[in-house]
Structure 1
Amino acid sequence: MSEVLTIAMPKGRIFEEAADLLRKANFQLPQEFDDSRKLIVDVPEENIRFILAKPMDVATYVEYGVADLGIAGKDVLLEEERDVYEVLDLKISKCHLAVAGLANGQASEVAKKVATKYPNVASTYFRQQGEQVEIIPLNGSIELGPIIGLADRIVDIVSTGRTLIENGLVELEHIEDITSRLIVNPVSYRLKDERIDDMVNRLTTVVENM
């Protein structure tokens, strides 16, 4: 029997959409897989093991080889800059990175302080715009930054824009479109190339027909 293929996946929306893609690619995932609270789920029928992780940790697991493959948002890959191969745009969990600020005109025209959980992305973006800003790292409720006067702007993921509106913020600049990507550990790609190529090819067929 071939070696187990280990895949790191985040819980939540990406997990649900990725599991649906895998099923459409004829991978036999048990129904209880979707509702599992386990952090490691084995699917012996496919000789696959899933590691269920926080979104920001997926690329780390793949880079260090504890997972052969992973499914991660492009936002994570831009922020983390991990040594992994990005082999397929799965075109799921679509959203975008944006700069936002107060809608009532209280924010200054030039951002001086920017709150974000994407400090590397934000630093690179404002540097490319020729703006010098102070980056304030936050891990949650980024929208609070401008509201309480901590920051002039935020850089965050925007999906529907509803959260911004509900907190009196507006999108000011579009940074980059984001989708989830299939990533691979470079060593695993050499050692398990046939199995990984098979998965990539089957998923590619599904994605191209979406």
Structure 2
Amino acid sequence: MAGDKMIMAVPKGRILTEVMPLIHAAGIVPEPAFEDEASRQLRFTTNHPELDLIRVRSFDVVTFVAFGAAAMGIAGNDVLMEFDTREIYAPLDLGVGRCRMSVAEPEEMVADDDPRAWSHIRIATKYPNVTQRHFAGRGVQAECVRLNGAIELAPKLGLCQRIVDLVSSGATLKANGLVEVETIAEITSRLAVNRTAWKTRPQAIGRWIERLRATLDATAA
């Protein structure tokens, strides 16, 4: 871990907006620069001298936690499923960032297409490991084309016929002429903990787990 401090990695973007009320309710208040959109700072102190936050991309949260640079982090189970590492323990479902990981294809294909008949497909996705495992489970060979963004463009531009991506309202799919044909997993954000840190600092990490769990229970009550 970075020095003697406990590091918690949080993701940039929509998930951060949804998770910050929970973090505040758990008694964690970052320094003012954390709320400054013009700030290029990435590491922030909190009102707890032993705890700092780092703000990184969602996929990088899992990397920082898996390799022990952060003791804890907040990550969607889409990213946790993609990494599928034994170095991370995810004890809490935080119930934020709800969406689903789905297979989609052009709407004109749907009427004559049956996913149960697929044997080999090419799919654009930023989740190749999850996608290949999902389809291999039913004997389908999935050739994955990895994209990190603008995945909905792939069918229109002839890169492939289908995509696997996260879907919330479905508005982006509809705007690009795509339709969901299969759900791979329901997605929420989790508290992720480095297993080595959990073994070496069980009391410190345990206190934060229990504080966040109590906050979730109070919110649900």
Aligned position for 1:22: 23
Q: Is the 8 A contact 2:29 2:47 kept in 1?
A: no
How far the C-alpha of 1:92 sits from its partner, in A, is 0.6
Distance 1:199 1:170 in 2: 41
TM-superposed deviation, 1:157? 0.5
Does 1:100 find its partner at 2:101?
A: no
TM-score w.r.t. length of structure 2: 0.87
| Partner residue, 1:34 | 35
Q: Is 1:148 paired with 2:151?
A: no
State the Cα deviation string for residues 137-172 of structure 1 (Å, max 9, x = none).
Answer: 111111111111211210000111110000000111
CA RMSD of aligned residues (A): 2.0
Residue of structure 1 equivalent to 2:11? 10
The amino acid that maps onto 1:123 is: Q
With normalisation by structure 1, the TM-score equals: 0.92
Code of the aligned partner of 1:193: P
Q: Quote the residue 2:122 is aligned against.
A: 113
Question: How big is each residue's C-alpha offset from its partner over 1:51-103, in whole Å with a ceiling of 9 and x where there is no partner?
Answer: 11111111111111110101111000000112211111111110110000001
Partner Cα separation in structure 2 for residue 176 and residue 106 of structure 1: 21
Q: What amino acid is aligned across from residue 192 of structure 1 in structure 2?
A: R
Check if 1:136 corresponds to 2:136: no
The more displaced of 180-189 and 110-119 is 110-119
CA shift in 2, pair 1:151/1:142, >3 Å = same
Amino acid at match of 2:209: V
For 1:28 and 1:53, how far apart are their aligned partners in 2? Answer: 18
Residue 170 of structure 2 aligns with which residue?
Answer: 161
State the shift of 1:37 in Å: 3.3
Change (3 A) 1:131 1:108: farther
- Map of 1:172 onto structure 2: 181
From 180, 189, 194, the equivalent of 1:185 is 194
- Amino acid aligned to 1:61: F
**What whole-Å deviation, never above 9, does each CA across 1:80-132 have from its counterpart, x for those lacking one?**
11221111111111011000000122897346211111000110111113222
Q: Report the Cα offset of residue 29 of structure 1.
A: 3.2
In structure 1, the residue matched to 2:76 is: 73
For structure 2, the residue ranges without an aligned partner over 5 or more in a row are none
Is the 8 Å Cα contact of residues 97 and 155 (structure 1) preserved in structure 2? yes
Gaps of 5+ in 1: none
> Does the 8 Å contact 2:89/2:193 carry over to 1?
yes
Number of residue pairs the alignment of both structures matches: 209
Q: CA deviation at 1:11?
A: 0.8
Quick one: which amino acid aligns to residue 85 of structure 1? Y
**How far off its partner does 1:186 sit?**
1.4
Whether contact under 8 Å (1:16, 1:34) holds in the other structure is no
2:127 is equivalent to residue 126 of structure 1: no
How far off its partner does 1:26 sit? 2.1
Kept after mapping to 2: 8 A contact 1:107/1:152: no
Structure 1 pair 24–177 and aligned structure 2 pair: CA distance change class (3 A): same
8 Å CA contact 2:131, 2:142 repeated in 1:
no
Identical columns (%): 40
